[in-house]
Copies of this chain bind each other. A is one copy, B any other.
Amino acid sequence: MAVDIRVRGYHLDIYQHVNNARYLEFLEESRWDFFDKTQLISTFESSNLAFVMVNLNINYRRPAFVNELVRVTAYFSKVGNKSLQLSQEIILLKENDCGELINDAVIVDAVGTFCLMDQCTEKTILIDGELRETLTDLIEDAPCQ
């Protein structure tokens, strides 16, 4: 799953490319969109669970410049007992000769590790039972570029 974002003037910093912190908002936007489309937002809300980042390993491979269109992907790559792994990419899109949007360069790739925190007890929960099944069913292989 993915969201497309057009790079705007306010995303840039002194170096005239998208600022390193702003990409994390792009990644978060794509995660919320993913949770929205898979109904995970309501699953988490109804169980009063917060989806909390514990580690992010992010590669900035190519700068993104104003007016460029990027696609931000998000998919579960691993479901553990106490943590989850989400793999995400930000890919530059360009139009081919047929006017279709195709992937050009990888701008960012990132692996995020998250835990689910019970917002009452403020403790990390064990990911098991029905929730584990739901999440495991969403695991995907990396999409072909």
List A residues at the B interface (Cβ < 8 Å).
6, 8-10, 12-16, 19-22, 24-25, 28-29, 32-33, 36, 41, 50, 52-61, 63, 66-67, 119
Could you list 17 A-B pairs, sorted by A, with CB under 8 Å? A8-B29, A9-B14, A9-B15, A9-B32, A10-B13, A10-B25, A10-B28, A13-B13, A15-B50, A21-B28, A36-B67, A52-B60, A54-B60, A55-B59, A57-B57, A57-B58, A58-B58
Number of copies: 4
Nearest Cβ on chain B to A20's Cβ, whole angstroms: 5
B14–A14 CB distance below 8 A: no
Q: Is the interface of A mostly helix, strand, loop or mixed?
A: mixed
Q: A14-B16, A16-B14 are in contact. Are A28 and B53 (CB under 8 A)?
A: no
